Amino acid sequence: MASGSVETQADPGQRAADELFNKFEAMIQSGELPDGAPLPPEREIVERYGISRTVVREAILALSNKGLVEARPRFRPVVRKPSFDTALDTIGNVVTRLLEQGEGVKNLFDMRVMVEVALARQAATDANRDDIYRLKQALEENETAINDMDRFFETDIKFHRIMYEMSGNPILPAVHRAYITWLQPNWVKMPTLPSRNQLNFESHTAIYNAILMRDPDQAEVATRKHLADAWDQINRILMESD
């Protein structure tokens, strides 16, 4: 298995750019380059490390591609501390392409259903008073927004977000954001009607009630129904555009 005894720690055969990349990655990780700070000018890096600009650019490119810094075309790259969010952002492009083919969207949506069902069950079992309060809050906001398309959209997402947050696992809100980001484009084409808002609000209520009653099975049923409705609507749109 092991190949040699070259002990430059990781892999010695790496290019200079990789080495620089690692240095910056470490600096970002350690906070020496705080979140939001701009990277030094390329030429400065060049002389500080005694390497060519080519290498510097490639390293920065890599940082950018991996989401460790945000680099708008002509601007100084800005540090973005890595998080699960940025990690998911990084693969956004690729995922988007993947979704375009075959059952892509359906598969991702199914994953979402799976996760949300699990969250609902978990909530029904474990949610504490505070969680439930927050959920209720969101539900009420949702209700007051039934006639305001934009706000309903927002509060709808928020209700779900709280479900993800209730898990207490910081990975899950990131997953939620990813679902939103990746599935949204398929949603927006959908004409929103107040009647649909009303329906969705009722679905949310059903989920909330099931959680309140500490009934995982009911929470699952309500969640499935809610998402199945949503899928129906999406699906109808997708069919039309084919």
Q: Which CB, 30 or 195, lies closer to a second copy? A: 30
Residue 51 in the binding site for DNA (CB under 7 A): yes
Assess contact for 237 and 186: CB atoms under 8 A.
yes
Binding partner selected for residue 42 from a second copy, DNA, none, CB under the kind-specific 5 to 8 Å limit: DNA
- Structure tokens belonging to residue 13: 């055969």
Residue 48 in the binding site for DNA (CB under 7 A): no
Binding partner selected for residue 68 from DNA, a second copy, none, CB under the kind-specific 5 to 8 Å limit: a second copy
In whole angstroms, the minimum distance from the beta carbon of 92 to a second copy comes to 9
Assess contact for 64 and 71: CB atoms under 8 A.
yes
Q: Which CB, 34 or 144, lies closer to a second copy? A: 34
In whole angstroms, the minimum distance from the beta carbon of 110 to a second copy comes to 5
Nearest to 136 by CA among 155, 113, 114: 155
60-92 burial, b for 16+ CB within 10 Å, e for fewer?
bebbbeebbbebeeeeebebbebeebbebbbee
| Residue ranges in contact with DNA by CB under 7 A | 15-17, 39, 41-44, 51-55, 57-58, 71, 73-76
